[in-house]
Amino acid sequence: MTPLTRVLYPYGDDNYGVLLHCPDTLQTACVDCGDAYATQQALQDNGWSLTHIWVTHHHSDHTAGVFELKQATQATVIGPNRSETPISGVDQVIGDGDTFDFAGRGVQLIHTPGHTLDMMNFYLPADSVLFSGDTLFTMGCGRLFEGDAPTMWKSLLKLSALPKDTIVYGSHEYTLANAAFAVTVDPNNEALKNQCEHVKKLRDAGEPTVPTTLAMELQTNPFLRADDPGIRSHLNMVDASDADVFAEIRRRKDAF
Ligand code: ZN
Ligand code: FE
């Protein structure tokens, strides 16, 4: 199986969209579309025709361009569609544990509520790629707009259980702010210090810090490390539950 070609493109203030293209079948998917023009431009730059639009959640920076892009390309839109937070243009509604076929490989859906209740992540085992939406970012996680901390912690545990070599695409470039916060709760983590240097260099060179890998996030992302003895003792929460430690880390980030 020829690996999918992946193209990352920025839009809006700090969003990333991704195009996935199969050189064999010529099928092309985009993950989220907050800006139809930006997606069309990325398609044109690569000479690809869009066949699928995958939507992670209902926020407008992920959906504002979906309907226009669908009209322009006739692409099939796959995503969540809760009645409380509808997404216009969704053709195929997906739920936790569903799988669908894209270019001859399976795409697994992982429901990760917390940032929103409709949040769906797209996992492609054959390519070791995860699109984590606004659930998991490089060194960070999404704010809790609709779910509570235990719900988000459970969602992050689902992602933590994926193979360590999984390539993780979060939807935003928030990494420098995430790194500045991470060292305040995990100050003795050498891997984290090294990674802070690395992401600074990337940003100074105008390079994205997305994608990351699950292995790197497990070592450096405080939101996946609520069970870490160093963090727990730093927060004076040695005997607290992991979910409570996660909640405290999230609370501190909100106030950072
Ligand atoms: Zn969002
Ligand atoms: Fe977002």
State the Cα–Cα distance between residues 21 and 240, nearest whole angstrom: 45
The domains of the chain are located at: 5-254
Higher-pLDDT residue of 128 and 2 is 128
How many CA atoms are closer than 13 Å to the CA of 142, on its beta-carbon side? 29
State the Cα–Cα distance between residues 195 and 225, nearest whole angstrom: 15
Q: What is the pTM of this model?
A: 0.98
Instruction: Encode pLDDT of 38-58 as tens digits.
Output: 999 999 999 999 999 999 999
Please check the confidence at residue 123 and state whether its pLDDT lies above 90: yes
What is the mean pLDDT of the segment spanning 138-162? 98
- To which H or E segment does residue 105 belong? strand 105-111
60 C-alpha to center of ligand 2: Å?
Answer: 8
Q: Decide if 61 is catalytic.
A: yes
Instruction: Encode pLDDT of 70-96 as tens digits.
Output: 999 999 999 999 999 999 999 999 999
pLDDT at 8: 98
Catalytic residue among 32, 118, 127, 134: 134
Strand blocks (E) in 113-199:
120-124, 129-133, 136-137, 140-141, 167-170
Spatial CB neighbours of 155, under 8 Å, sequence gap ≥ 6 = 111, 112, 113, 114, 119, 135, 147
Q: Decide if 134 is catalytic.
A: yes
State the Cα–Cα distance between residues 126 and 1, nearest whole angstrom: 9
pLDDT at 1: 84
Instruction: Encode pLDDT of 183-198 as tens digits.
Output: 999 999 999 999 999 9
Q: Which ligand is nearest to the CA of 15?
A: 2
144 C-alpha to center of ligand 1: Å?
Answer: 10
State the Cα–Cα distance between residues 20 and 232, nearest whole angstrom: 39
229 C-alpha to center of ligand 2: Å?
Answer: 31
172 C-alpha to center of ligand 2: Å?
Answer: 7
State the Cα–Cα distance between residues 133 and 111, nearest whole angstrom: 11
Q: Decide if 172 is catalytic.
A: yes
For the chain, what percent of residues have pLDDT higher than 70? 100
pLDDT category of residue 20 using cuts at 50, 70 and 90: very high
Catalytic residue among 35, 62, 111, 186: 62
129 C-alpha to center of ligand 1: Å?
Answer: 20
What is the mean pLDDT of the segment spanning 135-159? 98
State the fold for domain 5-254: Metallo-beta-lactamase; Chain A (3.60.15)
pLDDT category of residue 21 using cuts at 50, 70 and 90: very high
Please check the confidence at residue 235 and state whether its pLDDT lies above 90: yes
